[in-house]
Amino acid sequence: MYSDMYSDLGLFIDGVFLSGEGRGGEPVLNPATGQSLATLPHATVADLDRAECYDTILYIDVLEHIETDAAEMAAAAELLRPGGHLAVLSPAFPWLFTEFDAAIGHHRRYTRGTLTALSPRSLVRRRCWYLDSVGLLASLANRFLLRASMPTKAQIRLWDRSFVPLSMWVDRLIGHSVGRSILAVWEKV
């Protein structure tokens, strides 16, 4: 079932679907079994049309996979129109880095300081906050108590049904001061 759903993964850039063939990639894993379902092709701003300017560029759980993250951010900033936005969602806190992070191709996890330090000169950071405070506690429990390399189906269900809704409430209550993920948004000036 899953292999059919993911068999033709490619890239959707600027309204055009591009084949992922011939690119390196990351495996798409079934979190409950660890089974590889497909390979998600790598893409960077180098895959975008340099003659175009973009309103928004999103990195959703991507930047931590790119070894040269500062260069990637600088290249993305060049492709934004004035007033355009760059948004990055990534795993937070280097002390949460585990073998699982390494296994799925993460080079790092970020803090407000390390992510802000990547800010290209042409961008102004508008927001930077942590998300999933309850998930942070679950990640700590896994790292120091369970030491599981992959979450079970039951753990994923608990996370989705209980932890995420609870985190949405707790995150607001504590002012997004801590969390399993970090979200930053910049604007081109």
pLDDT at 176: 96
Q: What percent of the chain has pLDDT over 90?
A: 49
Nearest CA to 95 out of 115, 107, 106, 109 is that of 109
The DSSP H or E segment spanning 76 is helix 69-78
126 and 185 in contact (C-beta within 8 Å)? yes
C-beta pairs of 168-171 under 8 Å, 24+ apart in sequence: 170/133, 170/134, 171/130, 171/131, 171/132, 171/133
136 and 168 in contact (C-beta within 8 Å)? no
pLDDT at 141: 86
Structure tokens at 113: 């300081």
pLDDT at 32: 65
Coil vs helix vs strand at 132? coil
pLDDT at 160: 85
Return the exposure string of 27-46: e unless at least 16 CB atoms fall within 10 Å of the residue's CB, then b.
ebeeeeeeeebbebbbbebe
The CA-CA-CA angle for residues 56, 57, 60, to 5°, reads 125
Per-residue pLDDT of the chain (189 residues; tens, 9 = 90+): 333 333 344 444 555 545 555 556 666 666 667 777 666 556 667 766 666 788 888 898 989 999 999 999 999 999 999 999 999 999 999 999 987 788 788 999 999 999 999 999 999 999 999 999 999 998 888 888 877 777 778 888 888 899 999 999 999 999 999 999 999 999 999
pLDDT at 146: 77
pLDDT at 143: 81
The DSSP H or E segment spanning 129 is strand 123-131
Beta-bridged to residue 40, according to DSSP, are 26
Question: Where do the DSSP E strands lie in 61-106?
Answer: 80-91
pLDDT at 130: 98
Read off the pTM.
Answer: 0.76
How is the chain split into domains, by residue range?
1-43, 45-188
| CATH code assigned to 45-188 | 3.40.50.150
